[in-house]
Amino acid sequence: MTGRVGVVTFPGTLDDQDARRAVRLAGGEPVPLWHKDADLHGVDAVILPGGFSYGDYLRCGAISRFSPVMEAVIEAAGRGMPVLGICNGFQVLCEAHLLPGALVRNSGQTFLCRDQRLVVENADTAWTTRFESGQVITVPLKHGEGSYQAEPAEIERLEGEGQIVFRYEGDNPNGSAHNIAGVTNAAGNVVGLMPHPEHAVEPGFGPDDEQGIRAGVDGLEIFAAVLNRC
């Protein structure tokens, strides 16, 4: 049976269609979820996509965290359902306390948009099992408030317990602590990352690696990985 992956749309979301397309290309069935939905309509996993939910008023993701659908997401995540937050979705997960830490303004105070190389630090989460730890992938990033921060003791705990999922390779683009680009919860079912894997899912329409071997599809492996669990 094809895995059903819900993709939430909040007011101001702009990458929901890209995320649904990525799920479809990976072999899954994308299910649109509206922010006012009180249930998840029987999906097997959930994606909170990128954008500017509620115009990023108050703080990025701060209002979306209180949308009706998030109560269902929080409950489902507690039962072990895989949940992925991309960019603004990552911010929502932190605001909902499904992931630790917070995302703040980039250290350079500018919006970034570029291809980004990432080191896969944890290949054992629901979303990363098709990678190997230490593997380097390339996906686009585009954000203005993507600097991941947490208390030093919390960063030390995340490092020690293997909850860093992705790390920026080379130059730190936004000032994130320890070059962190993505983290997971202790159970490994909830993952948040700043770069956009949904924009690297089809040959010819995503960033190539230096040898041109991957042909822009590194991001597709994230969506394919979760379908193995469905």
Which parts of the chain register pLDDT below 70?
1, 208-215
Mind telling me the catalytic residues?
A: 87, 196, 198
pLDDT of residue 2: 80
Q: How far is Cα of residue 142 from the mean position of the Cα atoms in its chain? A: 13
pLDDT of residue 22: 98
Among 97, 92, 78, smallest CA distance to 10 is for: 92
pLDDT in tens, 85-118: 999 999 999 999 999 999 999 998 899 999 999 9
pLDDT of residue 208: 64
pLDDT in tens, 47-76: 999 999 998 877 888 899 999 999 999 999
Q: Give the DSSP per-residue string, 147-214.
A: EEE--HHHHHHHHHTT-EEEEE-SS-SS--GGGEEEEE-TTSSEEEESS-GGGS-STTSS---TTS-S
pLDDT of residue 9: 98
- Residue 43, token pair as written in the block: 């999906």
pLDDT of residue 140: 95
CA angle in degrees (0–180, nearest 5) for 127-192-15: 90
Taking a C-beta distance cutoff of 8 angstroms, is the pair 153, 103 a contact?
no
pLDDT of residue 56: 82
pLDDT of residue 59: 82
Q: Which residue has the tokens 């990432």?
A: 118
